[in-house]
Amino acid sequence: MNGLKATDPVRPRGPHPRTRLRLGLLLVAGAGCAFGQAPATGSMFSETLPIPPILAPTSTKGGIAEYELTAHAGQTSFFTDRATPTYGYNGMSYLGPTIRLQRGHQARITLHNHLPADGPAPMPMAMDPAAPPMGHAGVPNGSSLHLHGLAVAAEADTTPSNCCVPLPPGRDQASAVFKVDQPSATLWYHPHPYMDTGRQVYMGLAGLLIIDDPKDAPLRLPHTYGVDDLPLIVQDRRFGPDRGLLFRDRKEDAEGMLGNRILVNGVLAPHAEVPAARIRLRLINASNARAYFFGFRDGHAFHQIATDGGLLPAPVEVDRVMVPPAGRAEILVDFSRDAGKALHLVSNGFQAPAGQSSLSLPNGANFPVMEFRVAASKAASKIPPILPAKLAELPAADEARATVTRTFDLEKGGDEDAGGGDDTINGKLFDMARIDEHVKAGAWEIWTVVNHSREMVHPFHVHGIQFRVLKRNSGPLVPNDQGWKDTVNVLPRETVRLLLHFDRQAGTYMYHCHNLEHEDMGMMGQYQVEP
């Protein structure tokens, strides 16, 4: 542990322009760098990056891989002096094991809720003192399991069958048997109980769900999990003087919980020892409200190979990639010329909306994430030095196929300068008893998502499907917009057009803002796929 005091926020040095963003994302390349600020004691990156273990199925009887996840409370030593009360799965005090599924196979996932029955203390509803308290989803510490990015029927996606309904502590529930039928991808799982998702994820409940498609083996992408294929679950957290996780203890947190310390795979600013070869990084943003603009401190270029839902048509060389809350990106980094060096993964500065938190590390700040210590000698790597020219066949995002167009107005009610009002979609707060959109099975649709907020970014997410981004009115699409997506950042005053193909079974699914505080406050709706 690096022994940083909780009161030492990792902050960008130097002024960071915080003018309000209107259209587009104005990049602030080379804005203040946090590396100049040494921690008070110990050194940064002293902890080794842990790799979440792969969960073995408890049974494969009848060709169905059975997975069991048990959510429970625990104590995690983020700091040397005192442990932090947290939540985790399957004996891990924080986060959970990685579930790895193969395309074409059948699986079922059972959630056991062993969270303490007494549940959380009520959270203040910061926007409106008269509103009901946060933190209780009707049942104390009820949890649920949502398989984020999995393209399956609603009953399989989640336990209970409506992911917003909490499963009470002491109870178990299995998802429906499902067949994995989507390309190789880095997905994830997390709880989804209405009004308490943000707190439970913040306490540590999240894990990876990796889909492998055997047809991609000839690409010979790095795939030795934990060696040259590293999952990086990136989260920001805020700790109190007692090392406890602080959640929504400030008024502005209601607009998105931002921390001032960065965790990767549940460890503060770790390092990883990597071969001097081309390696694959799976970047997972499991933060409540922070977007990361990942890159290397020295500008080291890399290739993006996958977006949320699978491989891109071809590797794209970039030196930074924006990953919104809940988003993922897979990149290949060639360390073959960096033997013996230490390289730093950072989040580059970007011009983010102001107003979230002046005391915390603001969204858009430039800060370090972790360190890579490249082996001194060049690895006798089996990975070919040549990048595959092609990765995947993606159907053209042809909007002419769409027969239905819907508009989703994301709005911050009230006076934004005075904190604003409710976060709504089409003027409505979430209501579990209401179906907002009726969709015909097999339909192609265009969803136009309009962010009317002047300040808030809304990462828009649709359950049970991978979609394509057609257009942003703020500028051209970036590589991370050009593959399969399930979560798309919609900037203030921005309009994004999506193409969706509802190519699956009937059922009820959610769509929502994946800023978990917005989601918990009701910026969510339901669509029903009908035969």
Interface residues with ligand C2O (CB under 6 A) are 146, 148, 190, 192, 326, 461, 463, 510, 512, 514
Task: Please state, in angstroms and rounded to a whole number, the distance separating the CA atoms of residues 531 and 529.
Answer: 7
Q: Which does 320 bind (CB under 5 to 8 A by kind): Cu ion, ligand C2O, none?
A: none
Q: Of the two residues 463 and 493, which places its CB atom closer to ligand C2O in the complex?
A: 463
CA angle 209, 201, 155 (to 5 degrees): 55
Q: Answer for the pair 294, 368: CB distance below 8 angstroms, yes or no.
A: no
Q: Of the two residues 320 and 514, which places its CB atom closer to ligand C2O in the complex?
A: 514
Q: Which does 512 bind (CB under 5 to 8 A by kind): ligand C2O, Cu ion, none?
A: ligand C2O
Task: Please state, in angstroms and rounded to a whole number, the distance separating the CA atoms of residues 450 and 459.
Answer: 11
72 lies in the site for Cu ion, by CB under 5 A? no
164 lies in the site for Cu ion, by CB under 5 A? no
Total number of residues that touch Cu ion (CB under 5 A):
6
Among residues 136, 303, 485, 518, the one that binds Cu ion under rule CB under 5 A = 518
Q: What does the DSSP assignment read for 247-273?
A: -S-SGGGGG----SEEEETTEES-EEE
What residues pair up with 100 in beta bridges, in sequence order? 210
| Position 457, amino acid | V
Q: Indicate if the alpha-carbon torsion angle 310, 365, 493, 413 is positive or negative.
A: positive
Rounded least distance, CB 525 to ligand C2O, Å:
11
Q: Answer for the pair 290, 261: CB distance below 8 angstroms, yes or no.
A: no
Q: Of the two residues 33 and 425, which places its CB atom closer to Cu ion in the complex?
A: 425
Whether the bond between 160 and the residue before it is cis, its omega within 30 degrees of 0, is: yes
Rounded least distance, CB 275 to Cu ion, Å:
34
Rounded least distance, CB 106 to Cu ion, Å:
21
Q: Of the two residues 49 and 205, which places its CB atom closer to ligand C2O in the complex?
A: 205
Q: Which H or E run contains 331?
A: strand 328-334
Contacts of Cu ion in 338-367 (CB under 5 A): none
Q: Which does 326 bind (CB under 5 to 8 A by kind): ligand C2O, Cu ion, none?
A: ligand C2O
Q: Answer for the pair 296, 452: CB distance below 8 angstroms, yes or no.
A: no
Contacts of Cu ion in 487-516 (CB under 5 A): 513, 515
Task: Please state, in angstroms and rounded to a whole number, the distance separating the CA atoms of residues 399 and 70.
Answer: 42
Q: Give the x/- contact pattern for Cu ion in 450-469, rule: CB under 5 A.
A: --------x----x------
Task: Please state, in angstroms and rounded to a whole number, the distance separating the CA atoms of residues 163 and 192.
Answer: 6
Q: What residue number has its CB nearest to ligand C2O?
A: 148
Q: Of the two residues 112 and 148, which places its CB atom closer to Cu ion in the complex?
A: 148
Contact footprint for Cu ion (CB under 5 A): 148, 458, 463, 513, 515, 518
